[in-house]
Structure 1
Amino acid sequence: MTKQKLIIEVRINEGTTRDSSPHVPYSPAEIAGQAVECWRQGASLVHYHARDPETGAQSADVDLYADVVRRIKQDSDLITFPTLGASMLPTAEERVAHIVEMAKDPATRPDCVPVDMLTTNLDRYDARRRAFISDERVYLNTTKMLTHVCETVSAVGVQPVSMIWNIAGVRLTEAFLEMGLYKEPLFCELTLFADPFVSYGHPATIRGLHALLDFFPARANWPWFLSVIGGNAFPALAGAIESGGHVAIGVADHPYQELGVPTNAELVTRVVEMARSMGREVATPAEAREMLGLPGYES
């Protein structure tokens, strides 16, 4: 039986600074330039955060967000997947404001946005000190807030993507599907976490992945991606590729010093090589859109 083609997402910068990796892009030109380079290597999807072009500080500036999409659409048919900036914006209305504004112009309208299906602690643990680096960070996503995000972005032609960190997120996603807030094929992303992030979700192992997959509803048409935060993703990504999932990777999630501090494009190239060695070819953005239930490319 022919295996479904693999969709590759590049998570291009997150909130990470260049202290972690010198390859983290800040400005719209840098973000879009790296995204297009990753597209040439096989990526179909780019997730990004707007950043201050000079300092790298996270930003909610709609012009910065819009400029990235505009530049990407000029040079590629990549699927655009900007963040909602939820870690820095307290209300659901603030989190979607830039998406609503970007959607007014086809040249800047993104394809999809992440919706994190949980409320949780966001504290980092230092095993050497046997202490948490922080102990009061709470990531708030009430059901009302998540509902508002899904309804608002869907109304302006942007697809909400279920971001699943734990089993409760799987169950909540199923409820949102029943409520009509999501639709099948249900594009979702599973996130695993390395040791400093013990409070966030499942461990960054194949067992951690399958604990999530075990609770997917029977006959679910949920094309899923796997990302890993805080550690080398390749062992878990191999499990995702073998299990029929898709993959997300980027230098902001882990600098990969053990691989010589590669660029985002070099990470994508490694994923392509691994996938082909495992018998899966790589999807184009057009093929990815069809698999994920996204509208066709709009320049």
Structure 2
Amino acid sequence: MSRALHHDGTVILTCAITGNLTRPEHTPYLPITPAQIVESSLAAAEAGASIVHIHVRDPQTGRPSMELEHYAEVVDALRKARPDLILNLTTGPGGRFVPSEDNPRIAGPGTTLMPPEARVSHIAALKPEIATLDLNTMNSGGEVVINTPRNVRLMAKVIREAGAIPEIELFDSGDIAMMHDLLADGTLEGPVLCSFVLGVKYGFQPSPETVLYARNLLPQDARFTAIGIGRSTFAMVAQSFLAGGHARVGLEDGIYLSRGQLAQSNAELVTKARRIIEDLGGTLATTAQARAKLGFPLRAKP
């Protein structure tokens, strides 16, 4: 099935600033504190990102955090400095289960399972433009990520009541089937904004065929981004554009600028993605263009 391009050559670029699984021992350039996350977000925006995807971390340990105070500090600072920048907050943490070795019914160390309401409490409080909504239940290394249809529906309701658009994260084709069910019962409204996550070991694998297959399962009016994890980051920037989608890079997804060369900032990753898109004949959307495409009003400086 052929599909028309879903953009006019103008690509909305998201930068995923710090993520949940990238660790300080992986790269010394990972933003940790709220101030570092803000600084890196602003630099990425200057390089061409119109959306920043935000996780936060414990400033003392560098470990992932879901503390509202850390989110509030980042969001408040970004809204003051760049009210035009589109904020996309994660709701992914809190869904990981690690079975105990002695009794798999009991959670072992590393389990982060939280009630679905707790995973979106910062969305209700801070009201970003976008909040991610993961539909995957899958193996992740030796662990399991769990997102049941009931919990997804509860989280989607809070996201929509906060006035945010859910960005649907799709890790395999079954997730797309669930998305269609959520559209059919009114949990989600079209045109849906979604992302294919490619390169996680037990999910979608990064290839042109995968992107086209996943794209062709979407509703005709869907807007999508193909996200490459690790070594596939920049290949998927190109493939997403060529398939009619948008683009995402960032230290959450991949820490290398090229083989063996660590990116020293998110802005460097954005700059390379921009060059790829422009070399293919596209342009990056400004924040004003991205807001218009996604239906967000312009924000005035507080």
Alignment of 1:136-155 (within 5 A): 137-155=143-161
Q: 1:166 to 1:293 in 2, by over 3 A?
A: farther
Q: Distance in 1 between matches of 2:54 and 2:181?
A: 28
Contact 1:8 1:45 in 2 (8 A): yes
Alignment of 1:46-61 (within 5 A): 46-61=52-67
1:198 partnered with 2:201: yes
C-alpha distance after superposition, 1:129-169 (max 9, x if no partner) = xxxxx2xx111111110000111121121221111111112
- Counterpart amino acid of residue 117 in structure 2: E
Q: Hey, what does 1:261 align to over in structure 2? A: 262
Q: Distance in 2 between matches of 1:141 and 1:277?
A: 38
Q: Hey, what does 2:251 align to over in structure 1? A: 251
The structural deviation recorded for 1:89 is: 4.0
- Counterpart amino acid of residue 238 in structure 2: A
> Structure 2: 5+ residue runs without aligned partners?
96-111
Q: Tell me how many residue pairs correspond in the alignment.
A: 275
**Tell me, what secondary structure is at the counterpart of 2:56?**
coil
Q: Hey, what does 1:13 align to over in structure 2? A: 18
C-alpha distance after superposition, 1:191-234 (max 9, x if no partner) = 101xxx422x11122222122112123xx211111211232311
Q: Distance in 2 between matches of 1:236 and 1:91?
A: 33
The structural deviation recorded for 1:67 is: 0.9
Alignment of 1:1-299 (within 5 A): 3-15=8-20, 16-76=22-82, 77-84=84-91, 85-87=93-95, 88-102=112-126, 109-123=127-141, 134=142, 137-193=143-199, 197-199=200-202, 201-217=203-219, 220-256=220-256, 258=259, 260-262=261-263, 263-297=265-299, 299=301
Q: Hey, what does 1:106 align to over in structure 2? A: none
**Tell me, what secondary structure is at the counterpart of 2:131?**
strand
Q: Hey, what does 1:127 align to over in structure 2? A: none
**Tell me, what secondary structure is at the counterpart of 1:9?**
strand
The structural deviation recorded for 1:236 is: 2.1
**Tell me, what secondary structure is at the counterpart of 2:169?**
strand
Identity of aligned residues (%): 27
Contact 1:223 1:292 in 2 (8 A): no
C-alpha distance after superposition, 1:16-35 (max 9, x if no partner) = 22211221101111101110
Contact 1:286 1:297 in 2 (8 A): no
- The two structures have a TM-score, normalised by structure 2, of 0.86
> Structure 1: 5+ residue runs without aligned partners?
103-108, 124-133
**Tell me, what secondary structure is at the counterpart of 1:160?**
strand
**Tell me, what secondary structure is at the counterpart of 2:247?**
strand
**Tell me, what secondary structure is at the counterpart of 2:42?**
helix
CA RMSD in angstroms comes to 1.8
Contact 1:165 1:191 in 2 (8 A): yes
Q: Distance in 2 between matches of 1:258 and 1:237?
A: 16
**Tell me, what secondary structure is at the counterpart of 2:88?**
strand
**Tell me, what secondary structure is at the counterpart of 1:80?**
strand
- The two structures have a TM-score, normalised by structure 1, of 0.87
- Counterpart amino acid of residue 214 in structure 1: N
Q: Distance in 2 between matches of 1:80 and 1:46?
A: 6
Q: Distance in 1 between matches of 2:182 and 2:243?
A: 25
Higher mean Cα deviation, 138-147 or 287-296? 287-296
